[in-house]
Amino acid sequence: MTHVVMATARAGRLAATALGLLLATGLAGVAEETPAKELFGAERAPAPLEARAIGSYARGCMAGGVPLAVDGPSWQVMRLSRNRNWGHPDLIALIERLAEDATAEGWPGLLVGDLTQPRGGPMLFGHASHQIGLDADIWLTPMPDRRLSATEREEMEAVSMLAEDSRKVDPQRWTPAHHALIRRAASYPEVERIFVHPGIKKALCDGAGDDRGWLRTVRPWWGHHFHFHIRMACPADSPGCEPQSLPPPGDGCGSELDWWLSDEPWTPPEEPAAPRPPMTMSDLPRECQVVLEADAPLDSAPPPRPRP
């Protein structure tokens, strides 16, 4: 009898332990499997740490991000509801400088699209890169000479530079000021790449004359005919930032561009690639967990309660 009771008790304990283990691993499993885009997409404030870019452009996060002001002397931020006007301080300084320099190129000011979330990381929708605070989308639509309302910034649509059903720019839309704006952005040494639609690259190649060194920085890519994309090199303060190799030497106006303008890159593969599972925290650099968990700055904490 005693023997049976003891055995039962032990079995019960074992079952409880097993249940506990199951629950613990089950819960941990859920946390580990949460897509990182949900975690980073929910952060409303930057990580109050020293500024640095962590990881690679499409697999990383950002500490110490700062916001680009939604209005500047010659820029306006679009789609404010997305809260993606954050970046490494060097990126913010670069955009402010480009906005100023653009006016000297006959471009009336920048409409600024997505930069990065407050703590970087993968996004719930829209971009594979833009994760470490060094990427920025700038509209190819000039800034109107008035302050846009919040509603207009949500609803206004950018204009494609391409002619209807074509991989070439529409000469009615593509202007010397577009050319000058992109050339200026590509001229900064800290800008490593600029992504544009191949049709825009072709227009830049054709219009560049003898001044061609900057064209190396401008890379053809899908999309990017409503906006262009500026990517900065890893800043000196960010040892954990994974640099990309430099673009191949030359202006990129030859056979590579011919390929981009051919049908091949635009023909869908016969067997589409299986969708990749969303990134989880274990896919990101370990430091991104620190970035995610860092307390919000004091001024965003609730006010202290008065003592009785």
Contact between 192 and Zn ion by CB under 5 A: the answer reads no
Question: What torsion, rounded to 10 degrees, do the Cα atoms 184, 187, 191, 196 define?
Answer: 60
- Nearest residue (beta carbon) to Zn ion: 229
- Return the number of the residue (119 or 224) whose C-beta is nearest Zn ion: 224
From 141-149, 159-167, 169-177, 226-234, give the range in contact with Zn ion by CB under 5 A: 226-234
Q: Which of 43, 137, 192, 251 binds Zn ion (CB under 5 A)?
A: 137
Strands (E), the chain: 52-56, 59-63, 66-67, 71-72, 75-77, 86-87, 110-112, 135-139, 191-196, 218-220, 227-232
Strands 75-77 and 110-112: parallel
Give the closest residue to 98 by CA, choosing from 221, 223, 229: 229
- Return the number of the residue (197 or 229) whose C-beta is nearest Zn ion: 229
CA distances in angstroms from 201 to 15, 162, 251, listed in the order given: 66, 12, 10
- Return the number of the residue (6 or 128) whose C-beta is nearest Zn ion: 128
Give the number of residues in contact with Zn ion, rule: CB under 5 A: 2
- Return the number of the residue (227 or 281) whose C-beta is nearest Zn ion: 227
In the complex, minimum distance from the CB of residue 82 to Zn ion, in angstroms, rounded to a whole number: 13
From 5-13, 15-23, 214-222, 228-236, give the range in contact with Zn ion by CB under 5 A: 228-236
**Paired tokens of 206:** 């054709």
Contact between 229 and Zn ion by CB under 5 A: the answer reads yes
- Return the number of the residue (137 or 192) whose C-beta is nearest Zn ion: 137
In the complex, minimum distance from the CB of residue 135 to Zn ion, in angstroms, rounded to a whole number: 6
3-class DSSP string for 253-269:
CCHHHHHHHCCHHHCCC
Binding site for Zn ion (CB under 5 A): 137, 229
